[in-house]
């Protein structure tokens, strides 16, 4: 998985490419731990992400909880496969999806 | 240990393709690539393929992390096409401690972010995206099979 990070004013955009799964979720977790403090708003861009498993959902949930006290977090460019994963797990009600 | 691949003639239309790897998370990409190769060969729709890939991540990670506790072990993954109904079956076999993940209670998906528990989502996701998930313990082996219909 590739992670591209962009900080524009206080908006941190993390764009993911490939698969967010057991092997790659720790990479995202580490990246967020290192850079989330700089941001008031976190945008997770999934345009180039093929799919995610529950390991990825856990990282998103944790980020969502941490950003809730600040400007928040939103998830963008969700494909059909990932949207279905968000739907069946109830993550559609937890995340802000645009 | 290098991954062992072989083809076993089961007497059905399509032989069972299988791979045996070490039961560790590092084997997940190897298993995923192997299964994808078989799925591409039978023209599996991309959505079903990705859902199966997610299921592999969930199920193989469980085996890698829990089946043998701190000991080493191997796991075999088999892929076969089933003609009635047109579907593909992926079977995960390990000789670790007996564990039926299907007995795990489904997580409450209606809770808010603050109340959400992180466990139990994986197997739940597999049950929701596959058409059939079965478990049996036979000859000292955990045998977990997922089946996905290939009709759109």
Q: Is residue A47 part of a domain?
A: yes
Enumerate the residues of chain B whose CB falls inside 8 A of the CB of residue A74: none
How far is B21 from B4, CA to CA, in rounded Å? Answer: 7
Q: What is the pLDDT of residues A44-71, one digit of tens each?
A: 999 999 999 999 999 999 999 999 888 8
Write the residue in A54, A55, A64 that is nearest to B113 by C-beta. Answer: A64
Domain count, chain B: 1
Domain count, chain A: 1
Q: Is residue A53 part of a domain?
A: yes
Q: Is residue A98 part of a domain?
A: no
Enumerate the residues of chain B whose CB falls inside 8 A of the CB of residue A89: 107, 109, 121, 124-125, 128
**Residue B83: per-residue pLDDT:** 82
**Residue A42: per-residue pLDDT:** 97
Write the residue in A50, A53, A88 that is nearest to B58 by C-beta. Answer: A53
Min Cα–Cα distance to chain B from A89, Å: 6
Query: Each residue's pLDDT tens digit in chain A (98 positions)?
Result: 999 999 999 999 999 999 999 999 999 999 999 998 889 999 999 999 999 999 999 999 999 999 988 889 999 999 999 999 999 999 999 999 99
Query: Residue written as tokens 């528990």?
Result: B117
Domain that residue B142 falls in: 4-149
Min Cα–Cα distance to chain A from B49, Å: 10
Task: Specify the CATH number for the domain of residue B72.
Answer: 3.30.565.10
Beta carbons of B90 and B35 less than 8 angstroms apart: yes
**Residue B11: per-residue pLDDT:** 45
Q: CA nearest A96 in B: which residue?
A: B113
**Both structure tokens of B25:** 């998370």
Min Cα–Cα distance to chain B from A22, Å: 7
How far is B111 from A94, CA to CA, in rounded Å? Answer: 8
The ranges of chain B with pLDDT < 50 are 1, 10-12
- Give the count of beta carbons closer than 10 Å to the beta carbon of residue A37: 10
State pTM to two decimals: 0.91
How far is B67 from B89, CA to CA, in rounded Å? Answer: 21
Q: CA nearest B55 in A: which residue?
A: A53
Closest by CA position to B63, among listed B28, B34, B112: B28
**Residue B134: per-residue pLDDT:** 98
Is the complex ipTM higher than 0.85? yes
Beta carbons of A27 and A15 less than 8 angstroms apart: no
Task: Specify the CATH number for the domain of residue A54.
Answer: 3.30.750.24
Q: CA nearest B110 in A: which residue?
A: A90
Show the 3-state SS of A51-98. Answer: EECHHHHHHHHHHHHHHHCCCCEEEECCCHHHHHHHHHCCHHHCCCEC
- Radius of gyration for the alpha carbons in chain A, expressed in angstroms and rounded: 12
From start to end of chain B, where are the E strands? Answer: 4-8, 16-22, 74-82, 87-94, 132-138, 141-149
**Residue B56: per-residue pLDDT:** 98
How far is A19 from A72, CA to CA, in rounded Å? Answer: 24
SS3 at position B109: coil
């Amino acid at each position: 998985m590739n992670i591209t990070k962009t900080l524009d004013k206080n908006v941190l955009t993390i764009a993911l490419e490939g698969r967010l799964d057991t092997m790659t979720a720790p990479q995202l977790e580490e990246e967020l731990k290192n850079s989330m403090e700089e941001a008031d708003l976190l945008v997770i861009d999934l345009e180039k992400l093929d799919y995610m498993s529950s390991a990825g959902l856990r990282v998103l949930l944790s980020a969502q909880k941490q950003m809730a006290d600040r400007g928040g977090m939103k998830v963008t460019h969700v494909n059909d496969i990932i949207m279905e994963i968000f739907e069946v797990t109830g993550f559609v009600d937890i995340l802000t999806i645009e | 240990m290098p991954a062992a691949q072989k083809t076993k003639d089961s007497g059905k239309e399509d032989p069972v393709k299988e791979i045996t790897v070490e039961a560790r998370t590092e084997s997940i990409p190897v298993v995923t690539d192997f299964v994808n190769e078989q799925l591409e060969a039978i023209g599996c729709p991309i959505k079903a393929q990705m859902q199966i890939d997610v299921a592999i991540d969930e199920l193989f990670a469980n085996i890698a992390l829990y089946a043998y506790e701190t000991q080493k072990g191997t796991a075999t993954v088999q892929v076969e096409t089933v003609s009635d109904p047109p579907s593909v079956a992926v079977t995960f076999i390990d000789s670790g401690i007996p564990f039926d993940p299907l007995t795990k209670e489904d997580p409450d998906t209606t809770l808010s972010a603050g109340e959400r528990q992180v466990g139990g989502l994986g197997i739940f996701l597999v049950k929701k995206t596959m058409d059939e998930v079965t478990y049996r313990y036979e000859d000292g082996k955990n045998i977990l099979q997922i089946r996905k219909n290939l009709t759109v």
